[in-house]
Amino acid sequence: MLESTPLIPLAALAAVVAAAALVVRRDLARGRRPRPADLAWLAPAVVALVACAAVVGLGLFEREGDGLTLVALSLAALLEAACALLRRPLLDALERLGGRGGRWRATAELLRAGIAAGALALSCALGWLALELPWNGRILDMEPLYPSLEVAMILGALVLLYFLFQRRGAGMAVGVGALSLVGIAQFFVARFKDAAIMPNDLLALGTAAEVSGGYVYSVDHLVLLGVSCALVAMAACALVAPSRCATREQLGVNALGNVIAALAAASCLWGLVTTDLGEAFGLQVSYWDSLQSYEGHGFLPSFVRVAQDLPIDRPEGYDERDAADLERAYADEYDDGRGSTLPRAAAEAQFERELPSIVCVMDETFSDLSIYDGLGVGYQGPEFYRSLVSDAGTLSQGSLAVSVLGGGTCNTEFEFLTGVPLAYVGNGKYPFMLYDMSEAPSLPAQLAELGYATTAIHPNSPTNWNRQSVYDALGFDEFLSFEDFKTGTGDEEFAGVDFYHGAISDGATFDKVLELLRSSDEPQFIFDVTMQNHSGYLQSNVPLEDLPGYEPEGLDAETTAELGEYLACITASDRDLAAFVEELRQLDRPVILLYFGDHQPGFSPELADALMPDASEQDKLRLIYSTTYTIWANYDVAGSAVGGVETDSTGPAQLAAMLLDAAGAPLTDYQKAQMVAREDVPAASLIGTELATGAWIALDDDGEGDDIRLPQAYADMRTISYLEFGSKQE
């Protein structure tokens, strides 16, 4: 089978190498050295053919019966190599023609300009295909306006590079190569996360690299066709170069002209990308389905549109003094209401006397997928976790409206540690990577002022999501990363440490928490971000006996396999949580535990579509963007209802206030405002807002439809959140 053998690209590679050797031999025979710049033009063809052969040889080429794609890529590589080898004879011929002077020089320059213009036009068209083909399944259905806008952006960038490289085709080739790489990157992001690349993803490349090992990097025929387009464009670029016969004065004039032309191109490009694309072209990115928006509008226009949204919007009519008065009014309402009750007074007195340690576990991708009608197979969810609803120590348990799916752990983390909802910061943003966290409200800093030792735990690289710097800025005393789990060196560096699903297990992190709690009688705040349940879920590295064997109807084989591996991870987490809670019960000191998941797995949309075919898109999204939380204590918390658990929806940004309120701990004015606002708006995420009535309003709904209007508390908390965070990032 053509598509299963690397012989085609290898044969093309052999032809390229043989041709290059013949050219080098010919040049040496004529007493001249081969020009490295000319040979460098062979690099794109060689790299593409080697990569193609490796992909096919390793069984990573998916599309069966499509061996013609390999032929197309090989022919494109051969064309690029041929132009690279013919480049010097063509340019020498133009030099000889121009050397005759007079009208021949003008003819030579006209030919050069024609070749450059043709290469530019070809590079724009094929560069666009190289960018869009690998991942955009709707490329043929795009409205003409948006491809035109994207090609205009590409044109501006390529013209800029052309003049920056002093009218050499190498500049355009670099631009086309970059477009091809972005297209391939978007292909993998779409496959693994069902999402589009956002501007802030560029700031998180290190984190992406850290967690990329669990994926299978196979490609299909469209990826190879995209690379083929890039190679053909580079073939044309190889023939573009300025004359070498100019005088010194002419070289100076040309260099100045190139700089002026580059500045003009940069100015035009800047004007285009800074134009409000929403207002000028009606381009709006749906953050519910960013990939679909990118498919409809093109990668570059969508990417630029998201970048234009990065600044935190100032609330209309915002005034700092008025915002502070508003926050104080909400805090006074708390003090006069919930904060003045006898149960709250009892909890406050107990907290001041006991100073219980506080452990918060954000469990990677932990969620209860039984919300999808039991997956159609009677799945009941994590058994021990669900049993906590009737445990005497449980103070609250409910659903958690999160703003991320399949990744973006740091955003749930940001909301919890700062109390700032992403709904008020904006979508497509990773605050840990963008903003000054030392200026943010901070739960660890707040508890440190009460005399708590503060420790963060994450059994992976400390640079993931910039945590090393962020935790320090937020006021953590200590950060334990994967280095702190090592027990030896070399092959024995993690001897005795439990791993699951290719990562340090939840149980191992819980052991570290217990070790910290037993090491000191002083009150501690410990924030544990686990790792074992991280995607992907086709690693085949969980025990076979842990696989549940569920095969819900409507799921394809790959999603079914992902589901099985994911549920095995959740079952393992549930076992570890049961053991952890039992250890906390036996601990001779008061501890309050908050346990919650950061997001659902990336394949959840497939579950919703298959298992809830008649549900509305809004109802599906509400489930997809939800996890669960539990607040539990190993002691009788004064003022808490006996034998009763408050089941309530909330968001990560409100969890800290709820936790401290339940424990009787002092609250900041901001947290008091959150507790009051929760009476009208229990949960707010980037997807939508839940009202006290249970109604759900989508984020892009203005609240005017269906007689549903957002409560004033929503707008008030936007203003107060901006006071506490957004205004400090200006």
**Mean pLDDT, each 10-residue run in order, the chain (730 residues):** 73 90 81 79 94 89 75 94 88 79 78 92 97 94 95 95 92 96 93 79 68 78 95 96 62 71 88 89 77 92 87 92 98 96 94 97 97 93 94 93 93 97 89 88 98 97 87 96 89 90 97 97 97 94 94 94 97 98 97 98 95 91 95 93 70 97 96 97 92 83 50 95 93
Separation between Cα atoms, residue 599 and residue 80, nearest integer Å: 46
Instruction: Supply the pLDDT for residue 79.
Output: 95
Separation between Cα atoms, residue 79 and residue 18, nearest integer Å: 14
Using an 8 Å Cβ cutoff, are 568 and 376 in contact?
A: no
Separation between Cα atoms, residue 83 and residue 91, nearest integer Å: 11
Tokens representing 416 are 């919890």
Query: Would you report the helix, strand and coil content of the chain in percent, each value rounded to 5?
Result: 60, 10, 30
Q: Which 3 state secondary structure label does DSSP give 457?
A: strand
- Please state, in angstroms and as integers, the Cα–Cα distance from residue 121 to each residue in 105, 158, 178, 532, 552, following that order: 24, 10, 17, 49, 50
Residue type, 25: R
Separation between Cα atoms, residue 304 and residue 71, nearest integer Å: 35
pTM for the full predicted model: 0.75
Q: Is 447 exposed, middle or buried (0-12, 13-18, 19+ CB in 10 A)?
A: buried
Tokens representing 547 are 């696989």
Residue type, 365: T
Instruction: Supply the pLDDT for residue 702.
Output: 41
Beta strands in 344-472 (DSSP E): 357-363, 394-401, 453-457
Instruction: Supply the pLDDT for residue 701.
Output: 42
The residue behind tokens 């052969």 is 53
Separation between Cα atoms, residue 504 and residue 4, nearest integer Å: 37
Instruction: Supply the pLDDT for residue 244.
Output: 65
Instruction: Supply the pLDDT for residue 203.
Output: 63
The residue behind tokens 């901001």 is 670
Using an 8 Å Cβ cutoff, are 237 and 169 in contact?
A: yes
